[in-house]
Amino acid sequence: MGNKTRWLLDRSSDLNPRNMRLGMYAWVMQRLSGVYLVFFLLAHITAIAQANFGVTKGLQATILDALRNSFTAGGLSTTLFDLIALGIIAFHGLNGIRIVFLDLGFGVRAHRLSFWLFMAMAIAVSGYVIMLGLPMLAKAT
Amino acid sequence: MRVAQLGAWRSVFLWLLQRISAALLVVLLGLHIWASNFATDWASLLRAGVDISLLAVALFHGLNGVRTIVLDFGLGVQARRFVSVSLWMLGFAAFLFGMYGLWPLLFPS
């Protein structure tokens, strides 16, 4: 094993799946989802900037138009793109609230239970937003 | 010693800001999703205020998070400085670009 990958792959690494338990998976997923959301944020800013300045022709316009309002102007693929982002935002946000509570000292002993409770809330929040958007999606297609 | 203490204080401050911005994001993001998808008749000034705040807070939270992750790989002092300065520059550029994009929302013609 190369020296460069020891921190990740070594038997003694905290990130070796054999050493990882629920809390560590939550930590890793929080970081991975965070990195994804930074890229999403930059893409979202770009899309809004260009859409608000009215690119009106061609493929670029179609993509930007769809990105501008996923529920009314999007095709299936952009809706899927936004739904994935919605799910990841809900995960990152709810798990983040849980982390703040843990940092404040609430629920440290029940952190495994609270993870699943907050994940249930993340699914509920995503479901609620999708439920709000469904009639608009049906109207647009 | 004094320099090390100063650095530690700044790290604690950034950690705290990360938590505060997280709490703000929960509120702002809810308003943003609501206002841009479901409440088109909202007062545009309030919506613009939400979007400008969200732009700044989300960029800070996201790029500070990237900084945290990168610095966890154990960089030297110079590399840390380089990463921090680069991310601040990227953040300012993205903020200006985002404001440019929000301009029609701020001043609808």
Higher pLDDT, B13 or A140: B13
Span B3-50, pLDDT tens digits: 555 567 888 899 999 999 999 999 999 988 887 776 666 566 677 888
Domains of chain A: 3-140 (1.20.1300)
Please indicate if any CB of chain A lies within 8 Å of the CB of B77. no
Rounded Cα distance between A106 and A129, Å, is 28
Are B60 and B22 spatial neighbours (Cβ–Cβ below 8 Å)?
Answer: no
Nearest CA in chain A to B100: A49
Both tokens assigned to A134: 């469904």
Are A37 and A93 spatial neighbours (Cβ–Cβ below 8 Å)?
Answer: no
Span B55-93, pLDDT tens digits: 999 999 999 999 999 998 888 889 999 999 999 999 999
For an interface test with A, which of B37, B38, B59, B92 has the most A Cβ atoms less than 10 Å from its Cβ? Answer: B37
Token look-up 């946000």 returns A93
Are A124 and A31 spatial neighbours (Cβ–Cβ below 8 Å)?
Answer: no
Residue B8's CATH number: 1.20.1300
Are A41 and B104 an interchain contact pair (Cβ–Cβ within 8 Å)? no
**DSSP string of A81-135?**
HHHHHHHHHHHHHHHHHHHHHHHHTSSSTTHHHHHHHHHHHHHHHHHHHHHHHHH
Number of structural domains found in chain B:
1
Q: What is the pTM of this model?
A: 0.85
Rounded Cα distance between B83 and B7, Å, is 15
Are A35 and B69 an interchain contact pair (Cβ–Cβ within 8 Å)? yes
Please indicate if any CB of chain B lies within 8 Å of the CB of A53. yes
b/e sequence A115-125, b meaning 16+ C-beta within 10 Å = beebbebbeeb
Return the minimum-mean-pLDDT range out of A27-36, A78-87, A107-116, B69-78: A78-87
**Alpha carbon of B86: minimum distance to chain A alpha carbons (Å):** 15
Rounded Cα distance between A24 and A39, Å, is 23
Provide the residue range defining the domain that includes B77: 2-106
pLDDT at A37: 94
pLDDT at A131: 87
Rounded Cα distance between A117 and B63, Å, is 28
Are B101 and A35 an interchain contact pair (Cβ–Cβ within 8 Å)? no
In B, residues 25-64, which contact A (CB 8 Å cutoff)? 25-26, 29, 33, 36-38, 55, 58-59, 62-63
Are B29 and A70 an interchain contact pair (Cβ–Cβ within 8 Å)? no
Higher pLDDT, B105 or A12: A12
Token look-up 């809810």 returns B30
